[in-house]
Amino acid sequence: MNIRETNYWLETVPDRALGAREGLPDLVDVAVVGAGFCGLAAARVLAKRGIRAAVFEAEELGWGASCRNGGMVLTGLKLPVPTLIARYGREATKRMYAASLESIDLVEQMVKEEGIACSFSRCGHLEVACKAAHFAAYSEAAALIKREFNHELRVITKNELRTEIGSDLYFGGMVDERSASLNPAQYVTGLAKAAQRAGASLYDHTRVTGVEPEVHKGGRKFRVFTSRGSLLARDVLLATGAYTSSATPAFRKKVIPIGSYIIATEVLSGGLARALSPRNRMIYDSKHFLYYYRLTPDNRMLFGGRAAFVPESENTVRESAELLRRGMVEVYPQLRQVRVDFVWGGTLDFTFDVMPHSGKIDGLHFAVGFAGHGVAAATWMGAKLAGVICGDVDDNPFSSIPFPGAPIGLRSGSTWALPLAGWYYRVLDYFT
């Protein structure tokens, strides 16, 4: 295979060099660490509300998971609703589910308001069942979600499945029309421009190396150390996701970085693209070690999965290309002779309870744990956190739940246990 080991989405965004060239100010109201969906959505709201916000990004703006993902803007949370209800009760779960729907509306509204050309479309998503038992659970799940949240999901039997997907591999499916799709690199770049237009200062290639409390003119502030020098901030917002580093050690212990990889084929003919995905849905399967796939706006098949569990490196990206191609051909034998043009990887921000969280750690605001739902959830959480910093009442259902760290101190920043987690989920997929 002659594949480019590079992110296809970035090819669609020619100019991402938006960062400020001037030196750092001495003092800002809010220092935001990380320029992904979360940090940029927060900076945009802060700036629009008259707060002096500076965003620090170690690499290019949007460099992390936010420009590398599948661009699926999904309803719901990573954990199934019965698990959420058992853990947090019906009322809290209702608020969490409502937040997931609201977060898609927020993305849509921002895309419109800021004129972000990122092919946003309410195309809906399709979950496909890899086993008969998975399909059997769909009707109950749809009924529960209708009853508790008045939200409609449509169960698709195996006989009807060809109207949704050009594959005979699955036992049936479930459709949610509220989900959407976009081009994530165009979206995150548009968000950066919107934050900048609103008045936020964006510093790319500026790594935060540490944050320390400091008393300044009798008030408590934070000294933020960066690769360009230091400055004082009244508040600090950590939006570093899976790429959180030892610069913020307490926060790092709460985050599990999990690798995910994507291939994109050559451009397909319109007929073949329609045959593979007649309604252009965002598709994912029912396994723990799942595949997710979709057509790009220019009709490539984009096919992703956790081909390796560890964060991306040259080796894991290269190895993933063939593993994912085989997975894609298993789903779509029609693509056996089709060329794969791109492969890339990224790191997902998981937490130990597989939930999103926001709040304060060591006096620093944070939001993290969006896993495979971060396009909408990280945007929403960033905007919400900005509101809290501006003095809004904190009605965020994810800020009041317990935030567990690693069991028995398992994680201190190294990723040695991740291959074990990968095998655990493979075994789970075999038996459940």
Ligand X SMILES: Cc1cc2nc3c(=O)[nH]c(=O)nc-3n(C[C@H](O)[C@H](O)[C@H](O)COP(=O)(O)OP(=O)(O)OC[C@H]3O[C@@H](n4cnc5c(N)ncnc54)[C@H](O)[C@@H]3O)c2cc1C
Q: Catalog residues that contact ligand X under the rule CB under 6 A.
A: 33-39, 56-59, 63-66, 68-72, 74, 207-208, 239-245, 247, 260, 262, 304, 346-349, 370, 372-376, 378
| Contacts for 237 with CB less than 8 Å, ≥ 6 apart | 30, 31, 32, 33, 39, 42, 364, 365, 366, 367, 385, 386, 389
Measured from the CB atom, the residue of 7 and 299 that comes closer to ligand X is 7
Give the closest residue to 392 by CA, choosing from 96, 111, 46. 46
Closest approach of Cβ 89 to ligand X, in Å?
A: 25
Question: In the block, which residue shows the tokens 């949240």?
Answer: 149
Amino acid at 340: V
Contact between 374 and 69 (Cβ < 8 Å): yes
Measured from the CB atom, the residue of 171 and 276 that comes closer to ligand X is 276
- DSSP β-ladder status, 364-368 and 229-238: parallel
Measured from the CB atom, the residue of 64 and 172 that comes closer to ligand X is 64
How open is the CA angle 154-157-159, to the nearest 5 degrees? Answer: 135
Give the closest residue to 368 by CA, choosing from 407, 412, 405. 405
Closest approach of Cβ 288 to ligand X, in Å?
A: 16
Measured from the CB atom, the residue of 189 and 260 that comes closer to ligand X is 260
Closest approach of Cβ 71 to ligand X, in Å?
A: 6
Q: Which two tokens stand for residue 212?
A: 């320390």
Measured from the CB atom, the residue of 33 and 335 that comes closer to ligand X is 33
Q: In Å, what is the CA distance from 125 to each residue of 24, 48, 145, 173, 250?
A: 43, 33, 16, 10, 36
> According to DSSP H, which parts of 168-304 are helical?
184-198, 249-252, 270-276
Measured from each CB, the residue nearest to ligand X is: 374
Closest approach of Cβ 222 to ligand X, in Å?
A: 14
Q: How many CA atoms lie within 13 A of 41 on its CB side?
A: 27
Measured from the CB atom, the residue of 107 and 153 that comes closer to ligand X is 107
Closest approach of Cβ 147 to ligand X, in Å?
A: 26
Closest approach of Cβ 4 to ligand X, in Å?
A: 16
Amino acid at 202: L
Closest approach of Cβ 389 to ligand X, in Å?
A: 16
- DSSP β-ladder status, 282-285 and 291-295: antiparallel
Measured from the CB atom, the residue of 46 and 171 that comes closer to ligand X is 46
Alpha carbons 62 and 64: distance in angstroms, whole number: 6
Closest approach of Cβ 356 to ligand X, in Å?
A: 9
Closest approach of Cβ 379 to ligand X, in Å?
A: 8
Measured from the CB atom, the residue of 171 and 203 that comes closer to ligand X is 203
Q: In Å, what is the CA distance from 38 to each residue of 42, 293, 401?
A: 6, 24, 19
Alpha carbons 399 and 362: distance in angstroms, whole number: 15
Measured from the CB atom, the residue of 72 and 389 that comes closer to ligand X is 72
Kindly compute the dihedral angle of the four CA atoms of residues 283, 286, 287, 293, in this order, to the nearest 10 degrees: 0
Q: Which two tokens stand for residue 196?
A: 């900048």
Measured from the CB atom, the residue of 230 and 245 that comes closer to ligand X is 245
> According to DSSP H, which parts of 9-89 are helical?
37-48, 81-88
Alpha carbons 367 and 373: distance in angstroms, whole number: 13
Closest approach of Cβ 409 to ligand X, in Å?
A: 22
Transcribe 179-206 into DSSP letters. -EE--HHHHHHHHHHHHHHHT-EEE-S-
